[in-house]
Amino acid sequence: MKRSIYRFAPPSVLVATLIALYFEYTNGTMDVEDFVSLPAVAGWCLAFTYVAYRKPEHLRKFEIATFLFLCLHHLYRFYFIVHGKFGAGHHDLNEYTFWIPFFYICGFLILDKTMALRVSLAVFTATVFIGAGRFWVDPSGAGAILDVILQFYISNVVYIVALYYLYYAVEANVQSEEYQRMAFTDFLTRLPNRRQLEEWMAAEIGAVRERRTPLSVALIDIDCFKQINDAYGHDAGDAVLVRFAAFLSERIRGGDSVGRWGGEEFLVVMRRTELGDAAAFAERLRADLEREPFPEAGRVTASFGLAQLGGGEELFSLLKRADQALYVSKSEGRNRVTAL
């Protein structure tokens, strides 16, 4: 996301800077401060755009350098406005205030929340000292410009506080989403876990009853998994689980869902699928699995237990019947498909 912003923001600032240069040059209003600062900003934006598009591996170093440049430019420009043009016409400070949010946004975009707050407050404190120095050197006429500079400082405080809490809210939301994802995802295989599958199926059963469409499930158990762990070690067993999860994920049909039910058991939810079609699909999976290479453990097979949701049936009953079908497959020699 940051890279996308960097591909948009620097070129936009570059265009705005070039427009300012053009009008100040053609109107004859360019002074020493603009003569130095505007070309510097334009050049830096051009360099940043080049790095964002062509040298993304250097982006982190360049964004830190960019923020330091912005800090210096901000203080430089504020000093010249307050100690130079400000006495003649304080509209320059009003115009410059438009760009202050951009400076603070860059800080919170580039740095972490705490460091961005510290740097923003440090730069803000420096502007307070610069403003105080202006009134110390020339206290005459302070009343005419005091209102403008106080509004400038107040707006800066508002920007800093608002961005800090916005950053905090976004960060908290991201963490909440990550915790939720972890709560519903199996750590090893990265598939949905049993909790997620149960929630999905509970919602799906309600939808199936409204639509009056079929729903079938397949409970799949890796055959002789304990022997794999005993013979090759638990690391090999984990590798088999990961590879088996990838095998199922690659072969399920669009609209179906797969997750880890627990241990070496996996569950496939087949929407809009009659039991006969589900059994045919499971048989193809079983046959493909026999040919699938598992370097960690040699040949791997699995047993399948299938069931279709009956009229008025609840989730617990559906899963119990799938488990009974799986038991039949295992008791009859494993590596087979049973549908009940």
Token pair in block for residue 98: 């438009």
Q: Identify which has the larger pLDDT, 144 or 38.
A: 38
What does the pLDDT read at residue 1?
Answer: 62
Give the range with max mean pLDDT: 53-67, 86-100, 310-324. Answer: 310-324
Strand order in the sheet with 302-308: 257-262, 265-271, 215-222, 302-308, 337-339
- Answer yes or no: is pLDDT of 22 > 60: yes
Torsion of CA 76, 77, 80, 82, to 10 degrees: -110
Token pair in block for residue 229: 């762990």
What does the pLDDT read at residue 139?
Answer: 66
pLDDT band at 92 (very low <50, low <70, confident <90, very high): low
What does the pLDDT read at residue 74?
Answer: 83
| pLDDT tens column, 264-305 | 999 999 999 999 999 999 999 999 999 998 988 888 999 999
Percent of the chain's residues with pLDDT above 70: 89
Of 176, 298, 184, nearest in space to 236 by CA:
298
Per DSSP, helices labelled H in 55-112 are 59-83, 91-97, 100-110
Q: Which of 264, 290, 313, 314 is catalytic?
A: 264
pLDDT band at 146 (very low <50, low <70, confident <90, very high): confident
Exposed, middle or buried by CB within 10 Å (0-12, 13-18, 19+), for 311? exposed
Of 249, 233, 140, 271, nearest in space to 189 by CA:
249
Range of lowest pLDDT (6-10, 129-133, 139-143, 240-244): 139-143
Q: Identify which has the larger pLDDT, 2 or 282.
A: 282
Please confirm, yes or no, whether 264 is among the known catalytic residues.
Answer: yes
For the residues 73-101, what does the mean pLDDT come to?
Answer: 69
What does the pLDDT read at residue 279?
Answer: 96
| pLDDT tens column, 157-205 | 888 888 888 887 877 776 666 666 667 788 899 899 998 898 888 888 8
pLDDT band at 89 (very low <50, low <70, confident <90, very high): very low
Return mean pLDDT, the chain. 84
Token pair in block for residue 213: 């469409």
